[in-house]
Amino acid sequence: MNIAELLARIPYLEPHRLEVTPGRAQVHMPGREQLMNHVGIVHAGALYTAAETAAGIAAMDVVGDQRAVVLLRSANVRYTRRATGPVLATATVDLGRAQAARQAFLAVARADVTVTVVADCEGEPVLEGTFDYALRPRRET
């Protein structure tokens, strides 16, 4: 499954914008009424989905050729302020650690990578977190 197909399966993010560069992925989640909770702010689950999606894409990009399955092992997030509209989730992977994970994956078909995410709304962070992923070989189906 390519990234566009993956994003199409996540209704929170539709329509979306995506930008991927080495060590970084950004996912834009539009501000929509369906994403608001009972007090009129973006639901925490929607924020988490945007952040984890950006982090997962950044982790996928470590290997880059879809040979790996990216599995979330753990996450630690902190909600820092209320989100009231569109959100831009920016995920970053340290390039040195990404290269080490890529080399480990190519050598032994296993690697781990940590991705840092900041979700931004109106120029201020609304969520900060780290997501730890296991990279495992994709099985032929």
Q: For residue range 83-95, what is the model confidence (pLDDT) as tens digits?
A: 998 999 999 999 9
Can you give the CATH number for the domain in which 104 is found? 3.10.129.10
User: Is the N-terminal amide bond of 15 cis, ω within 30° of 0?
Assistant: yes
The pTM assigned to this predicted structure is 0.87
Looking at the structure of the chain, the number of domains it has is 1
For residue 55, the enclosing domain spans: 3-137
- Is residue 96 within 8 Å of 83, Cβ to Cβ? no
Tokens 């992923």 locate to 133
Q: What percent of the chain is helix, strand and coil (3-state, nearest 5)? A: 35, 40, 30
pLDDT tens per residue, range 1-55:
666 676 666 665 555 667 889 999 998 888 888 888 999 999 999 999 999 999 9
